[in-house]
């Protein structure tokens, strides 16, 4: 129970890596807010059935008003926010393509959700974290931004922005005892990736071959790092980007 007494918001937690993180946080004793643009209730029900504490919040992280309202609701319900995991992103649905072919609408959507959304959520939670001089922010970046995966330029650029925001905000938030770190996952077999057969065929075998631990990665492989950055064991670690990829980077 490494997160007993903590309140954690996990964005994009209806499915995939976010759902696994939310479930593990609840199992570690946190009260979890499952925040997603899609129905959060099945993920909430799963946590409640396992004996955990969770509530759902419908939110578009790219909407300033919705993010502000979500944070106000969480504070009125729980009185505090200890952990924010910025996991929501446009990712699994994207098609690899030459950079000249990327549609500008899609480019802006990726930047809105993956970069502006992270900024808005951080900006909304920090006043209450600052007031309590305590908080852990975990951004989900990507190994693609370290390795420079081609043919997904908007996504890779958005995740590089997340990594650099993590480092620069660490220098702004540390004075108030707030840590901010990023996890850079490798290629995981989430529902979203399994539902994108074209990308799966391109990435799965290459990802496994490039790993020091040459096997597929599943959402449960990521949750330990997310618990570490949310808990007291990492209280003097900030501004770091941790690849969780079986030793690929
Ligand atoms: N799965 C991987 O292999 C992998 C690898 C590297 C990085 N990542 C990153 O990990 C995170 C989770 O990945 P995943 O594969 O589970 O993704 P996913 O696409 O399966 O799930 C993303 C979740 O975010 C939600 N979401 C999307 N837009 C939103 C918005 N505007 N507001 C609120 N919620 C929104 C979706 O509804 C969904 O529940 C993402 O940040 C992704 O970029 C994933």
Ligand 1: residue whose CA is nearest its atom 16: 16
Under the banding of pLDDT at 50, 70 and 90, the label for residue 9 is very high
3-state secondary structure string, the chain?
CCCCCCEEEEECCCCHHHHHHHHHHHHCCCEEEEEECCCCHHHHHHHHHCCCEEEEEECCCCCHHHHHHHHHHHHHHHCCCCEEEECCCCCCCCCCCCHHHCCHHHHHHHHHHHHHHHHHHHHHHHHHHHHHCCEEEEEECCCHHHHCCCCCHHHHHHHHHHHHHHHHHHHHHHHHCEEEEEEEECCECCHHHHCCHHHHHHHHHHHHHCCCCCCCECHHHCHHHHHHHHCHHHCCCCCCEEEECCCCC
155 is known as an active-site residue: yes
Percent of the chain with pLDDT over 70: 100
Ligand 1: residue whose CA is nearest its atom 23: 12
| pLDDT value of position 38 | 98
Mean pLDDT computed over 20-34 = 98
- Taking the centre of ligand 1 as the mean of its atom positions, its distance from the CA of residue 18, in whole angstroms, is 7
| pLDDT value of position 199 | 86
- Cα separation, 129 vs 132, in Å, equals 5
Q: Is the pTM of this model over 0.85?
A: yes
CB 158 less than 6 A from any atom of ligand 1: no
- Taking the centre of ligand 1 as the mean of its atom positions, its distance from the CA of residue 143, in whole angstroms, is 14
Structural domains of the chain sorted by starting position, each given as residue range(s) with its CATH number in brackets: 7-243 (3.40.50.720)
For 126-157, the pLDDT digits (tens) are 999 999 999 999 999 999 999 999 999 999 99
Is residue 93 over pLDDT 90?
no
| pLDDT value of position 202 | 87
């Amino acid at each position: 129970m490494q997160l007993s007494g903590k309140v954690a918001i996990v964005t994009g937690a209806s499915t995939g890596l976010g759902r696994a993180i939310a479930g593990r946080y609840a199992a570690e004793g946190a009260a979890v807010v499952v925040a997603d643009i899609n129905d959060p209730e099945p993920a909430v029900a799963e946590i409640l059935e396992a004996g955990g504490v969770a509530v759902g919040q419908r939110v578009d992280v790219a909407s300033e008003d919705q993010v502000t309202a979500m944070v106000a609701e969480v504070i009125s319900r729980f009185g505090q926010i200890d952990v924010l995991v910025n996991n929501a992103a446009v990712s699994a649905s994207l098609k690899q393509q030459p950079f000249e072919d990327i549609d500008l609408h899609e480019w802006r959507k990726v930047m809105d959700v993956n970069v502006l959304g992270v900024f808005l959520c951080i900006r909304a939670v920090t006043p209450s974290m600052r007031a309590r001089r305590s908080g852990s922010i975990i951004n989900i970046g990507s190994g693609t931004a370290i390795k420079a995966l081609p043919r997904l330029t908007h996504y890779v650029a958005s995740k590089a922005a997340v990594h650099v925001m993590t480092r620069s905000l660490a220098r702004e938030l540390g004075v108030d005892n707030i840590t901010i770190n990023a996890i850079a996952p490798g290629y995981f077999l989430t529902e979203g990736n399994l539902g994108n057969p074209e990308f799966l065929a391109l990435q799965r075998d290459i990802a496994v071959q490039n790993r020091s631990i040459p096997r597929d990665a599943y959402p449960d492989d990521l949750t330990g790092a997310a618990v570490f950055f949310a808990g007291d064991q990492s209280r003097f670690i900030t501004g770091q980007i941790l690849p969780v990829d079986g030793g690929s980077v």
